[in-house]
């Protein structure tokens, strides 16, 4: 989804316009015709929002995982994380809140069937950034099984990338999923270089996907602009510049999974800055 930024987000972004101590002032602006200075001024002058929950979120690190494993005499990561979730930090603890560990628990449960992985290695896999909507856990378990068996894990490929003018929503969604797979693979390669040795190939594939997605977005931006100009100043059959061969109208820009737009760089909707939720 796409939503307006809240005041604290506008202030955080605006705060990057200059650094205190190095610059006396900074300039916050919007693109002409694409943003609302009134919205930005309103958000910058808004009072701080009330913070309802002051307890910081915490999660275990590898040392705590090992300590709890020794305490309960278990080498099961799932058992250790379950113990941490239910017994180490109470829900009514006055100082801290336990971070969301549901994905880590799901990965830990899925890794139970993989042999020859020590507890610390399992914990590292449980922390890997994956997309569950793209069978991320199943893929991660396969990588872990290859790792445990002493086999090198090859990086994900780019898949077939059609010409940018022929790419639509489905192609962009597939490219985004492949990019996320590469992010996960490269994250693991930094921690297990022996099991994930082809880092250069992964960098190349990531670069190819980045460039292709950028070309698609630029192409679609040009198509939308051509369509807009055709609606404003050209009518079919009048010999206007929009009637030239190659000008294509009627193309609806794709969206990322979850309804998020794929705007080109510099294009923002009226109403102020926008942010894609993480």
pTM score of the predicted model: 0.68
Same domain, 167 and 258: yes
d(CA 41, CA 176): 35
| Residue 191 belongs to some domain of the structure | yes
Count of structural domains, the chain = 3
Domain match, 201 and 257 both: yes
pLDDT by residue for the chain (278 residues), tens only, comes to 678 889 999 998 888 777 777 777 778 888 887 788 999 999 999 998 888 888 999 999 999 999 999 999 999 999 999 999 888 888 888 899 999 999 999 999 999 999 999 999 999 999 999 998 899 999 999 999 999 999 999 999 999 999 998 988 899 999 999 999 999 999 999 999 999 999 999 999 999 999 999 999 889 888 888 888 888 875 554 444 444 444 333 333 444 444 443 344 444 343 444 444 44
pLDDT score recorded for residue 249: 36
- The answer on 228 and 121 residing in a single domain is no
* Gap between the Cα atoms of 77 and 88, Å rounded: 15
Q: In this structure, are 161 and 227 located in the same domain?
A: yes
Question: What is the domain range of residue 117?
Answer: 54-127
Contact 174, 216 (CB under 8 A): no
Q: What is the pLDDT of residue 273?
A: 46
Question: In Å, what is the CA distance from 83 to each residue of 64, 67, 114, 205, 234?
Answer: 11, 12, 21, 40, 68
pLDDT of residue 252: 38
What pLDDT shows up at residue 128? 96
């Amino acid at each position: 989804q796409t939503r307006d930024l809240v005041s604290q987000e506008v202030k955080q972004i605006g705060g990057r316009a200059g650094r205190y101590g190095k610059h006396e002032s900074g300039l916050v602006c919007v693109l002409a015709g694409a943003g609302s200075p009134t919205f930005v001024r309103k958000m910058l002058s808004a009072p701080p929002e009330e913070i309802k929950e002051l307890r910081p979120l915490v999660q275990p690190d590898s040392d705590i995982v090992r300590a709890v494993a020794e305490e309960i005499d278990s080498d099961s990561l799932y058992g250790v994380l379950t113990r941490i979730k239910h017994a180490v930090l109470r829900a009514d603890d006055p100082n801290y809140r336990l971070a969301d560990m549901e994905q880590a628990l799901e990965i830990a449960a899925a890794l139970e069937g993989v042999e020859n992985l020590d507890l610390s290695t399992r914990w590292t896999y449980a922390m890997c950034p994956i997309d569950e909507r793209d069978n991320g856990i199943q893929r991660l378990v396969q990588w872990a099984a290859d790792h445990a068996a002493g086999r090198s894990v090859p990086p994900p490929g780019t898949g077939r990338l059609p010409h940018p003018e022929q790419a639509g929503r489905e192609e962009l969604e597939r490219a985004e999923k492949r990019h996320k797979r590469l992010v996960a693979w490269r994250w693991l390669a930094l921690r297990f270089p022996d099991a994930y040795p082809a880092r250069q190939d992964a960098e190349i594939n990531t670069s190819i996907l980045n460039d292709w997605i950028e070309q698609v977005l630029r192409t679609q931006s040009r198509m939308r602009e051509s369509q807009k100009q055709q609606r404003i100043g050209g009518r079919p059959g009048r010999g206007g510049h929009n009637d030239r061969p190659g000008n294509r109208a009627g193309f609806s820009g794709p969206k990322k999974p979850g309804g998020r737009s794929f705007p080109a760089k510099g294009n923002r909707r009226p109403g102020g800055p926008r942010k894609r939720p993480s």
